């Protein structure tokens, strides 16, 4: 967890793979996370896609009575990324606008297992924390050690003085 928040988390940006992944534990962990969010009435901000791990999260949080907001670039509304937005939809012009909107709407961030898009978001949010642009919490849902190699890389970057210990 990076950063800490002295206020209650009301809106959380959850992101992860556009595929459910190979291991059943990825989907089970995403489902458990969504149940916890729904029970605590934490609102979900997500990328608007109806594929992969996030689909079940958005449905469960929505059915649990919390607000759900999908932020989607207009260009992606025409492809196979969107079958149906769960909850409310916010269309933006670009991927950068999407990231900025989700960042500004969220009090904290959780990364489920995922691929390049997930890694890009992790490093985007993490680098902003390192630059003191925000002090919001960042969590990696490290299912079955999925993020172990990434965490080892970050440890190595710190050992080699590319990251500070405060990062």
Single pTM value for the model? 0.87
CATH of the domain at 111: 3.40.50.450
* pLDDT for 24 beyond 50: yes
* pLDDT for 121 beyond 70: yes
- Per-residue confidence (pLDDT) for residue 110, from 0 to 100: 97
Tell me whether residue 42 is in a domain.
yes
What is the total residue count of the chain? Answer: 167
Tell me whether residue 25 is in a domain.
yes
Tell me whether residue 34 is in a domain.
yes
Tell me whether residue 5 is in a domain.
no
Name the domain count of the chain. Answer: 1
Proportion of the chain above pLDDT 70, given as a percent = 92
pLDDT tens readout for residues 144-161: 999 999 999 999 999 999
Structural domain of 52: 11-159
- The confidence band for 83, taking pLDDT boundaries of 50, 70 and 90, is low
Q: Give the Cα separation of 56 and 34 in Å (integer).
A: 8
Q: What is the mean pLDDT of residues 38-64?
A: 90
Tell me whether residue 115 is in a domain.
yes
* pLDDT for 124 beyond 50: yes
Q: Looking at residue 21, what DSSP letter applies? A: -
- Per-residue confidence (pLDDT) for residue 120, from 0 to 100: 94
- Per-residue confidence (pLDDT) for residue 7, from 0 to 100: 64
- The confidence band for 106, taking pLDDT boundaries of 50, 70 and 90, is very high
- Per-residue confidence (pLDDT) for residue 39, from 0 to 100: 95
- Per-residue confidence (pLDDT) for residue 86, from 0 to 100: 82
Q: Give the Cα separation of 35 and 51 in Å (integer).
A: 18
Tell me whether residue 27 is in a domain.
yes
Whether the Cβ atoms of residue 61 and residue 36 lie closer than 8 Å to each other: no
- Per-residue confidence (pLDDT) for residue 81, from 0 to 100: 56
């Amino acid at each position: 967890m990076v950063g800490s928040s002295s206020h209650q988390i009301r809106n959380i940006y959850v992101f992860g793979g556009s595929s459910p992944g190979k291991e059943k534990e990825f989907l089970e962990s995403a489902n458990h996370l969504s149940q916890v969010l729904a029970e605590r009435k934490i609102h979900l901000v997500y990328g608007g896609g109806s594929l992969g791990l996030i689909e079940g999260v958005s449905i469960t949080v929505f059915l649990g009575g919390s607000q759900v907001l999908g932020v989607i670039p207009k260009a992606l509304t025409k492809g196979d990324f969107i079958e149906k937005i769960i909850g409310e939809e916010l269309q933006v012009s670009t991927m950068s606008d999407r990231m900025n909107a989700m960042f500004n709407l969220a009090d904290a961030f959780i990364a489920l297992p995922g691929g390049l898009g997930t890694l890009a978001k992790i490093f985007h949010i993490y680098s902003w924390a390192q630059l003191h642009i925000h002090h919001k919490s960042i969590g990696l849902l490290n299912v079955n050690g999925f993020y172990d190699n990434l965490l080892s890389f970050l440890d190595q970057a710190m050992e080699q003085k590319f990251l500070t210990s405060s990062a």
